[in-house]
Amino acid sequence: MSALLLIAATGMANLAKAQSAERYNIIPQPETLTPQSGDFQLTNGTTIYAKKAEAVGRFFAAKLSKATGYNIQLTNKKTSGGIQLLIDKKVKGEEAYELSVMPEGVTAKASTEKGLFYAMQSFLQLLPAQVESEVPVSGVAWKAAACQIQDKPRFDYRGTLIDVCRHFFPLSQLKKHIDMMSMYKINNLHLHLTEDQAWRIEIKKYPKLTEVGSWRRTEYGRTGGFYTQEEMKELVKYAEERFVNIIPEFEVPGHELAAIAAYPWLSCRDLKVEPRRTWGVEPIITCAGKETTFQFYRDVVDELVKIFPSKLFHIGGDEAPRIEWKSCPHCQAKADELGLKDENGRSREAQLQSYVVREMEKYLNKYGKDIIGWDEILEGGDLNKSAIVMSWRGETGGIAAANAGHRVIMTPGSGGLYVDHFQGEPALEPQGIGGYAPLSKTYGYEPIPQAVAEKGMGQYVMGPQVNLWAEYLPDNDRQDYRLYPRMLALSEVGWSQKEKKNFEDFSRRLDTDASIRMKLHHVNFHIPLPQQPEGSFDFVAFTDQKAVAFETTRPEKMVYTLDGSNPTPQSTTYTAPIIFDKSGTIKIATVLPTGDMSRIRTIRVEKQQLSPAAAVEGTQLGLKVQLVKGTYLKTQELANVTEWDNSRVIKNLAELTKLGSEDYAAIASGYVKVEKDGVYYVRSNNVEVWIDGQKVVDNNNTPVKTSEPNGGSIALKAGLHQIKVVYINTIMAGRPADWGGSRIHMRYGEKGGFPEVKAEELFHI
Ligand code: ACM
Ligand code: ZN
């Protein structure tokens, strides 16, 4: 090839590269991005001109210097070849910006510092992802792909709720989320600060709120913590520097058992309680009849408004059972005084809750605040137009509120915005509250419901929010795992124009770029796991031949080994079901284009003979039970029990959970009848299930058995087989064992549902 041709070919390649989407990985997708040829090269001499936006300039100079090792400085002179941040009132919109990245220099324009901040966040995403490193990275070509961007958000409000009450998270963890939110242009952190299980913010007038109310009793002792006012002010400042607004949530009138534990007079009957040990809806709520309750509300607000400058203030309002109010003389007197009657399908008590909401609103309005409440605040009627409704029980509340002219924030669990839900097959995921919201579901959410759009009321939708409730998030890693990458999907749902959304392209940007950035911020993000299409099991029994198939919740490469070694990104790529005619072990993981891998699954595939049926006579329905009172957490602890009570027979498994009101452990034994020869797949929320002496289900390391974790399988001949079920009745990880009942599901063969083992199938002699 001649030199000239080579140059032409290279030029063409560059042009092709310039036009290809792969050079541009920005999340959320900008309104318009026009590719340009070439790159802007960041060098040790690059300067930032930011005369009218010095704080923003300094923020990014420091950030760029840290990762590159260069000394990027602010300059007073507009110099060619550098970066300029210009306040330009012609750019309309508080968060809008224009960004020109050319080989000759970078210019960001916006009418506000916030707009310039977002322009620079986009610029960082045009640079290699290593720009998010806290320490200098060598060997990186610090080039930003040239382009012209015009950008503004679709919705003013993009939010993330963090629940710091069910579990406590340190300030450093919250700062990490704020960093990630600001990178992805999410502008509101809704901080859920008060709950039945804990009160998390120092209130100087009521010191017991944190002395007593911040600590919850668990099977492993006391757990908890709180933020001092100084710490919270520090967090607010940190967030402000990143243009994230922190909305405090102080829940009234319900979800306040921790406050009642500190100050019993807050309840209708002055009850002496402790912060709630278990999850779920607490029936004891604050009294709406006593003036002291309202004084408490006002005092708390007085202190919170000094910490949180946010114009928006969340007053809760959800899941307040109002049962106590019905028989409380104070509440009833208040309802009489207000002249409340059961009418229009609204109880006096529902209207009393509305009164509480309006009192809170009046008081907060004096501070110039707008209130937000969960969609229950619509129930009692008479809601002021200024109140903002947060739609969580589906979209019904949001639709009703928007169509009635209230501003709404959409965060429906049914829309994939409850990011405490599972994002992969529940049997494989860490324990959770339930629900299923894979990344594609969160990404696919449309914040303006059809019924609002049809009425032309879309402007009342402020925007979407993901909610990260923390019942099942005991630590930072678990919290990250649920929030990421779904929070990045929310970023695009809230910011990008509807017609710009494309899940496949979002996944590409996520996997090739954002995943590196998340890792540099020490975010333990979710990577889809290899799942078995008919239900995942780590122990697969077979009799003749078995093909084990895998898939992922979104297309990703999977790698595996069959020799017992841990797979690496270079291991065999999964392309088709893996065939076994003798026993073996699969180790399989998902690998991203970056080389990052999911957790490795180990699946034992075992060739078995059909286990023969038991030849027993004189069987009767039911299982025999051994019972011992006391608190046990794992089955090993039962090995030392010598005094069992053997007096009971249960007719069905559900009875296992009803053998006493105190903590106990029980072992049910007998026979299970199966109709056909073949392989049976077994799942259970019990601690252990044994069939014919094989431990088929072992949940000892799964304290919370909501999702019937990964079970096992066994080859059985038709007939009766010995069964042993271990059940432990106690509260583990905030969940009483009896909430899920006691169930065993068995599937015959490779496909179909998992019918529950019925009473008619259980026997003893
Ligand atoms: C909620 O999830 N209870 C608002
Ligand atoms: Zn009361």
**pLDDT tens digits for 451-502?**
999 999 999 999 999 999 999 999 999 999 999 999 999 999 999 999 999 9
* Phi, psi dihedrals of residue 575, rounded to the nearest 5°: -130, -25
In sequence order, the β-bridge partners of residue 681 are 713, 747
Distance (angstroms) between ligand 2 centre and the Cα of 266 equals: 9
Query: pLDDT grade, residue 552 (50/70/90)?
Result: very high
Rounded Cα distance between 402 and 389, Å, is 8
Distance (angstroms) between ligand 1 centre and the Cα of 465 equals: 13
Give a yes or no: residue 615 inside a domain. no
The pLDDT > 70 percentage for the chain reads: 96
Mean pLDDT of the chain: 95
For residue 74, what is the domain's CATH number?
Answer: 3.30.379.10
User: Cβ distance 682 to 746 under 8 Å?
Assistant: yes
What pLDDT, on the 0 to 100 scale, is given for residue 2? 41
Number of domains in the chain: 4
Give a yes or no: residue 18 inside a domain. no
Ligand closest to Cα of 251 equals: 1
Question: 422-439: per-residue pLDDT in tens?
Answer: 999 999 999 899 999 999
Ligand 1 pocket: which of 256, 374, 468 to mutate (most atoms <8 Å of CB)? Answer: 374
In sequence order, the β-bridge partners of residue 397 are none
What pLDDT, on the 0 to 100 scale, is given for residue 709? 72
For residue 744, what is the domain's CATH number?
Answer: 2.60.120.1560
Question: 242-301: per-residue pLDDT in tens?
Answer: 999 999 999 999 999 999 999 999 999 999 999 999 999 999 999 999 999 999 999 999
Rounded Cα distance between 133 and 68, Å, is 9
Res 20 pLDDT > 80: no
Ligand 1 pocket: which of 279, 319, 389 to mutate (most atoms <8 Å of CB)? Answer: 319
Give a yes or no: residue 594 inside a domain. yes
Side chain identity, residue 395 = E
> Do 58 and 102 have their domain in common?
yes
Within 13 Å, how many C-alpha atoms sit on residue 97's CB side?
27
Distance (angstroms) between ligand 1 centre and the Cα of 169 equals: 19
Distance (angstroms) between ligand 2 centre and the Cα of 257 equals: 14
Distance of CA 286 to the CA centre of its chain: 28
For residue 584, what is the domain's CATH number?
Answer: 2.60.40
> Do 190 and 120 have their domain in common?
no
What atom in ligand 1 is closest to the CA of residue 418? 2
Question: 22-57: per-residue pLDDT in tens?
Answer: 899 999 999 999 999 999 999 999 999 999 999 999
Question: 300-332: per-residue pLDDT in tens?
Answer: 999 999 999 999 999 999 999 999 999 999 999
> Do 139 and 101 have their domain in common?
yes
Ligand 1 in contact with 460 (CB < 6 A)? no
For the segment 595-610, the average pLDDT, to the nearest whole number, is 97
Res 340 pLDDT > 70: yes
Rounded Cα distance between 148 and 31, Å, is 11
> Do 464 and 557 have their domain in common?
no
Ligand closest to Cα of 471 equals: 1
> Do 566 and 668 have their domain in common?
no
Ligand closest to Cα of 314 equals: 1
What atom in ligand 1 is closest to the CA of residue 255? 3
Distance (angstroms) between ligand 2 centre and the Cα of 263 equals: 14
> Do 624 and 603 have their domain in common?
no
Give a yes or no: residue 429 inside a domain. yes
For the segment 146-156, the average pLDDT, to the nearest whole number, is 98
User: Cβ distance 654 to 687 under 8 Å?
Assistant: no
> Which stretches within 222-346 are classed as H helix?
229-241, 257-262, 291-307, 323-327, 329-337
For residue 302, is it left (φ>0), alpha (ψ between -120 and 50) or beta? alpha
Q: Which of 520, 555, 589 is the last residue of a domain?
A: 520
Q: How many angstroms separate the Cα of 536 from the Cα of each of 423, 425, 426, 602?
A: 15, 8, 9, 11
> Do 135 and 169 have their domain in common?
no
Give a yes or no: residue 310 inside a domain. yes
> Which stretches within 127-253 are classed as H helix?
171-183, 208-211, 229-241
User: Cβ distance 142 to 68 under 8 Å?
Assistant: yes
Ligand 1 in contact with 123 (CB < 6 A)? no
Res 704 pLDDT > 80: no
Q: Pick 104 or 740 by higher pLDDT.
A: 104
Buried b (16+ CB within 10 A) or exposed e, 213-252: bbbbeeeeeebbebbeeebbeebbebbeebbbbbbbbbbb
What atom in ligand 1 is closest to the CA of residue 319? 3
Rounded Cα distance between 638 and 288, Å, is 48
> Do 199 and 285 have their domain in common?
yes
Q: Which of 128, 151, 174 is the last residue of a domain?
A: 151
Distance (angstroms) between ligand 2 centre and the Cα of 322 equals: 9
User: Cβ distance 313 to 294 under 8 Å?
Assistant: no
Give a yes or no: residue 20 inside a domain. no
The pLDDT > 90 percentage for the chain reads: 93
What pLDDT, on the 0 to 100 scale, is given for residue 219? 93
Ligand 1 in contact with 542 (CB < 6 A)? no
Res 7 pLDDT > 50: no
| 245 three-class SS | strand
> Do 552 and 576 have their domain in common?
yes
> Going by C-beta distance under 8 Å and a sequence separation of 6 or more, which residues neighbour residue 27?
125, 184, 488, 491, 492, 506, 509, 510, 513, 514
What pLDDT, on the 0 to 100 scale, is given for residue 705? 66
Q: Locate 68 and state its tokens.
A: 């590159």
Res 626 pLDDT > 80: yes
Res 16 pLDDT > 50: no
Give a yes or no: residue 533 inside a domain. no
Res 93 pLDDT > 60: yes
660: number of Cβ within 10 Å: 12
What pLDDT, on the 0 to 100 scale, is given for residue 14? 42
Distance (angstroms) between ligand 2 centre and the Cα of 123 equals: 56
Measuring from atom 3 of ligand 1, which residue has the nearest CA?
318
For the segment 351-355, the average pLDDT, to the nearest whole number, is 96
Distance (angstroms) between ligand 2 centre and the Cα of 597 equals: 54
Ligand 1 pocket: which of 191, 318, 465 to mutate (most atoms <8 Å of CB)? Answer: 318
Distance (angstroms) between ligand 2 centre and the Cα of 683 equals: 45
What pLDDT, on the 0 to 100 scale, is given for residue 533? 96
Query: pLDDT grade, residue 380 (50/70/90)?
Result: confident
Ligand 1 in contact with 318 (CB < 6 A)? yes
What atom in ligand 1 is closest to the CA of residue 413? 2
Rounded Cα distance between 463 and 441, Å, is 17
> Do 315 and 385 have their domain in common?
yes
For residue 294, what is the domain's CATH number?
Answer: 3.20.20.80
Query: pLDDT grade, residue 196 (50/70/90)?
Result: very high
Give a yes or no: residue 16 inside a domain. no
Q: Is the peptide bond before 464 cis (omega within 30 degrees of 0)?
A: no
What range defines the domain where residue 558 resides? Answer: 539-607
Distance (angstroms) between ligand 1 centre and the Cα of 593 equals: 37
Res 10 pLDDT > 70: no
Ligand 1 in contact with 319 (CB < 6 A)? yes
> Do 223 and 370 have their domain in common?
yes
Rounded Cα distance between 434 and 488, Å, is 21
Ligand closest to Cα of 376 equals: 1
What pLDDT, on the 0 to 100 scale, is given for residue 707? 66
Ligand 1 in contact with 374 (CB < 6 A)? yes
Distance (angstroms) between ligand 1 centre and the Cα of 295 equals: 25
Measuring from atom 2 of ligand 1, which residue has the nearest CA?
392
In sequence order, the β-bridge partners of residue 546 are 580
Query: pLDDT grade, residue 78 (50/70/90)?
Result: confident
Res 717 pLDDT > 50: yes
CA dihedral 372, 376, 381, 384 (to 10 degrees): 0
What pLDDT, on the 0 to 100 scale, is given for residue 79? 80
What atom in ligand 1 is closest to the CA of residue 374? 4
> Do 79 and 126 have their domain in common?
yes
For ligand 2, a single-atom ion, which residues have Cβ within 5 Å? 268, 287, 289, 328, 330-331
Q: Which of 127, 151, 175 is the last residue of a domain?
A: 151
